[in-house]
Amino acid sequence: MTDSRSVIASADRIVVKVGSSSLTTAGGGLDESRVDAISRSIAARHARGTHVVLVSSGAIASGFLSLGLRRRPQDLATQQASASVGQGMLLARYTSAFAGHGITVGQVLLTSHDVTRRSHYRNAQRTLFRLLELGVIPIVNENDTVATDEIRLGDNDRLAALVAHVVQAKALILLSDVDGLYDAPPTKPEARLIREVNHVSEIDGVRLGGAGSAGLGLGGMATKVQAATIATAAGIPTLVAASSVADAALDTADVGTVFHATGNRSSTRLLWLAHATTPTGSITVDDGAVEALTVRRASLLPAGITAVHGSFVAGDPVDLLDQSGRAIGRGLVNFDARELPELLGRSTRDLARERGPEYEREVVHRDDMVVWAIS
């Protein structure tokens, strides 16, 4: 098996994610010394000629104290207000810290729509590539100030894994207040660090815990394992380590837990569709359509649909269900939900003859669809 730690240590393009607890004080608010320390570690790797993309949490945690709040807000509107204030504070500190090492940074804010809709994701990718070509370190975050529950990615661990795929990174490094994956809660004396994970199926019985220790972020070990699953399935080895050992993580990678790559790169868009979207509805298909979608990888046509659920518009992600209600895939739909009931069971040829040529199209094209493994 490939020595993943060596691959991470020598990778010429990496994505580094830093959690809120590694950048803020215990009570909230930006800890400038921590930002400076992380920036110094990343600058050292950058000086070796490595392209680095930084996915940074901390906007909400940095901003809420300035709004007179005592703790991280729970409602979306106040979170967005905190992010609006905190994002500027965070970027200003990063700009100053990296400038001390002769490095320019650039801000990139994303929502899931930016990378699931064809024109948007290509533009995001093009921007990130150009920043790297210019020697800039892109600082990426979810666009918390405008993202709604329906279009938000949810956590920056997953965002980092997806960005790693977008920028064709050779490695992903997740830094937070935990120093790796343990075989038991790390507060227990018998807990042991799991140094290597060959496949996530090996850790099915491990308790992964909830949110970060300071209660300032959304992430926990569960989100890091999910991120590692996404990245490694796309051929990207992943390291989970504590920000306190960032120097070592970004140098030899001989710390924390390494997740070995298990798959090969696939379509960036389809990876986002599978892992970065929340379905706005679902479509139930008959047995013939299940076979066509899962075995022949065909497009979904109106003839194979038996029911439509939810309220969605053309371009939205929808889950594809078999007759038992099991999800067999997800795709971007080409019709509004209100249009589909009158089309069910009909051939595209008949629909085009009756309604016009615009109806001779797939409900979900195979290029806009991911199909889950069916056991």
Task: Parse the chain into domains and list their residue ranges.
Answer: 4-272, 279-371
What is residue 313's predicted lDDT score, i.e. its pLDDT?
94
Q: Where are the beta strands (DSSP E) in the chain?
A: 13-18, 51-56, 105-110, 137-142, 171-176, 181-182, 193-194, 196-197, 238-242, 257-259, 281-285, 305-310, 317-321, 327-332, 369-371
| Residue 59: strand, helix, or coil | helix
Question: Which 8-state DSSP code applies to residue 76?
Answer: H
The pLDDT mean for the chain works out to 87
What is residue 162's predicted lDDT score, i.e. its pLDDT?
86
If you average pLDDT over residues 143-150, what whole number do you get?
56
The winner for highest mean pLDDT among 96-105, 221-230, 231-240 is 96-105
CA geometry: angle 117, 217, 223, nearest 5 deg: 60
Give residue-wise pLDDT tens across range 302-340: 999 999 999 999 989 999 999 999 999 999 999 999 999
If you average pLDDT over residues 175-189, what whole number do you get?
87
pTM summary value: 0.79
* pLDDT, greater one: 248 or 113: 248
The winner for highest mean pLDDT among 64-73, 217-226, 247-256 is 247-256
What is residue 159's predicted lDDT score, i.e. its pLDDT?
87
pLDDT interval class at 166 (50, 70, 90)? confident
- HSE of 346, CA atoms in CB hemisphere, 13 A: 19
If you average pLDDT over residues 248-264, what whole number do you get?
92
Q: In this structure, how many other beta carbons lie within 10 angstroms of the beta carbon of residue 119?
A: 7
If you average pLDDT over residues 24-30, what whole number do you get?
84
How far apart (Å, rounded) are the C-alpha atoms in residues 270 and 331? 9
What is residue 154's predicted lDDT score, i.e. its pLDDT?
54
Contact in structure between 216 and 28 (CB atoms under 8 Å): yes
Q: Does pLDDT of 210 surpass 50?
A: no
CATH number of 4-272: 3.40.1160.10
Pick the CATH number of 279-371 from 2.30.130.10, 2.60.120.620, 3.40.50.1390, 3.30.950.10: 2.30.130.10
* pLDDT, greater one: 182 or 120: 182
Give residue-wise pLDDT tens across range 352-368: 888 888 888 899 999 89
Nearest to 225 by CA among 138, 163, 158: 158
How far apart (Å, rounded) are the C-alpha atoms in residues 194 and 350? 59
- Please give the C-alpha separations between residue 148 and each of 95, 111, 114, in angstroms, as whole numbers: 28, 9, 13
Q: Within its chain, how far is the Cα of 222 from the centroid?
A: 13
Contact in structure between 322 and 371 (CB atoms under 8 Å): no
Give residue-wise pLDDT tens across range 108-133: 988 766 655 656 777 888 999 999 99
How far apart (Å, rounded) are the C-alpha atoms in residues 347 and 149? 36
What is residue 151's predicted lDDT score, i.e. its pLDDT?
37
How far apart (Å, rounded) are the C-alpha atoms in residues 96 and 81? 24
Spatial CB neighbours of 88, under 8 Å, sequence gap ≥ 6: none
